[in-house]
Amino acid sequence: MWDEQYRKDLERRRHDAVMGGGQARIDKQHQNGKLTARERLELLFDEGTFAELCAFREARPTVYGERTCDVIGDGVVVGYGKIGGHLAYASSEDFTVNGGSLGEIHSKKICQVMDAALNAKAPFISINDSGGARIDEGVASLSGYSGIFLRNTRASGVIPQIAVVLGPCAGGACYSPGICDFVFMTKKSAKMFITGPSVVKAVTGEEVGMEELGGAVMHARTSGVAHFVYDDDAACLRGVRELMTYLPQSNLKNPPVVEGVAVDRSASLESIVPADRRRVYDVRSVIHCLVDEGSFFEVQAAFAPNVVVGLSRLDGHTLGIVANQPRTRAGALDVDSSDKAARFVRFCDCFNIPILSLVDVSGYWPGLEQERKGIIRHGAKLLYAYAEATVPKVTLIMRKAFGGAYIAMNSKKMGADVVLAWPIAEIAVMGAEGAVEITGRKAIAQAADPQAARECLIEEYNRKHLNPYFAAANGLVDEVILPEETRHRIAQTFDALRDKKVETPWKKHGNIPL
């Protein structure tokens, strides 16, 4: 038999690792409404499946012979386990140890588990709760971030990467979440900023509060950095678990097929979408009529609300949805919505998720501000994303599809596999009123009754151009369908495209207009 001392020594070390910065700091973490690093991992992973790695690693002495951290584990917990029965890897920073600051060994632990995730072709989740780089270690801590960013980039498009910000995430640390596919934040505890309020004041003279500078609500509504915001740690981690049910393990796999409730509510669509394009409606109501019961998981709901994007299921299969939202800016595209939609389309294409585009777009939002912000460059991102995507792509033109925005919303010649349209669809360069003011100006001016002439020209333009049949006659719409036929026809189309394969020319990578 082994000497009992071996067992006691291991148990003591395990206890020290679990206690992190000590009971007083754990209590303070709880008082601040936050869970500990290990408690978060327990909620994230299926019960009893998390296996820790590198638990006993310690900070090395600096050139001056002192350790920058004297706690076993160096302020971060890493390992792997199952989420919904599927393998995933994770790191969780421990704020009770040196404020979760990142040093050399701390970063090496994260890099090791990121390498393991990439090798295993399994998702990686980083839980961030850190005061930033460990100042005592100087450039060694900064170099640690470099290693993380490099691995984030190498893994991008290969395995899903999810950043969960449950505390401070400051300075260079923000760029790892920035590279990840999705960023989760909590309302009260999470903060992300490159430079703090004191630096902003010193450089610009501006007085800014922490929430205004880097709070979750600001990042969800204004900057677009946060994709999901929840009230507390537990709700946030449940959100991560829900997202994972839509995602494949890697770009080599397809998303899981989940048995759900398939309810066809297509008959309700005619009452939801008015034929009059000047009347608004909520496109989410359309989505809920088409997808499996309760399966729509909206992404970036508060940012650029004139476009709605999210993951859903259709007959159990994961589906990405991009939809114009007539309730905001008449569904027009602008700088932010183009970025939002393009990023989502590229994510879906990375991970073999088919894309359904629901089109009701009035054009690009006009104005000097949009031109100065670079609507040309940002709008081109969406064109590029759709054209580049090789996953099955189906477009439904519900109502209006005008101008360049019609092209950008996955039109036939941009690579849509199938384009469907309702009978009320209007597909043209612009609406009849605007078109007639340009093309019929001379005839109207010379008419005995200009108003009657204008109305006559508008009626003629509507008859000739503002219907889906002109587009169908020219091969730009594959089929005109009734609302009650919509879900069945979309499901049938995606089923036919399930094994779609596209051969593309070899290239190192394209040069998307960033």
Catalytically annotated residues: 171-172, 404-405
In sequence order, the 6+-apart residues with CB closer than 8 A to the CB of 215 are: 187, 190, 191
Dig out the tokens for 384 from the structure.
């590029």
Distance of CA 177 to the CA centre of its chain: 12
Give the separation between CA 483 and CA 94, rounded to whole angstroms: 53
Give the separation between CA 294 and CA 12, rounded to whole angstroms: 47
Give the separation between CA 6 and CA 100, rounded to whole angstroms: 30
Give the separation between CA 229 and CA 189, rounded to whole angstroms: 11
Provide the 3-class DSSP secondary structure of residue 394: strand
Q: Are 396 and 420 in contact (CB under 8 A)?
A: yes
Distances (CA, A) of 405 to 119, 323, 401, 410: 41, 12, 7, 9
Q: Are 348 and 388 in contact (CB under 8 A)?
A: no
Going 91 to 92 to 98 to 102, the CA torsion angle's sign is: positive
Dig out the tokens for 37 from the structure.
């690093």
Q: Which residues of 154-181 are buried (b: 16+ CB within 10 A; e: fewer)?
A: ebebebbbbbbbbbbbbbbbbbbbebbb
Dig out the tokens for 119 from the structure.
């090798």
Q: Which of 22, 142, 40, 32 is nearest to 81 (CA)?
A: 40
Dig out the tokens for 107 from the structure.
């970063």
Q: Find residue 53's DSSP bridge partners.
A: 78
Task: Work out the angle between the directed axes of helices 283-290 and 486-496 (0-180°, nearest 10).
Answer: 60
For strand 355-361 and strand 307-314, is the pairing parallel, antiparallel, or unpaired? unpaired
Provide the 3-class DSSP secondary structure of residue 404: helix
Tokens 């049949």 sit on residue: 469
Give the separation between CA 357 and CA 47, rounded to whole angstroms: 38
Radius of gyration from C-alpha coordinates of the chain: 27
Q: Tally helices (H) and strands (E) across the chain.
A: 21, 17
For strand 76-83 and strand 51-53, is the pairing parallel, antiparallel, or unpaired? antiparallel
For strand 76-83 and strand 191-193, is the pairing parallel, antiparallel, or unpaired? unpaired
Dig out the tokens for 171 from the structure.
């300075």
Q: Phi and psi of 337, rounded to 5°?
A: -70, -30
HEC string for 205-228 = CCCCCHHHHHEHHHHHHHHCCCCE
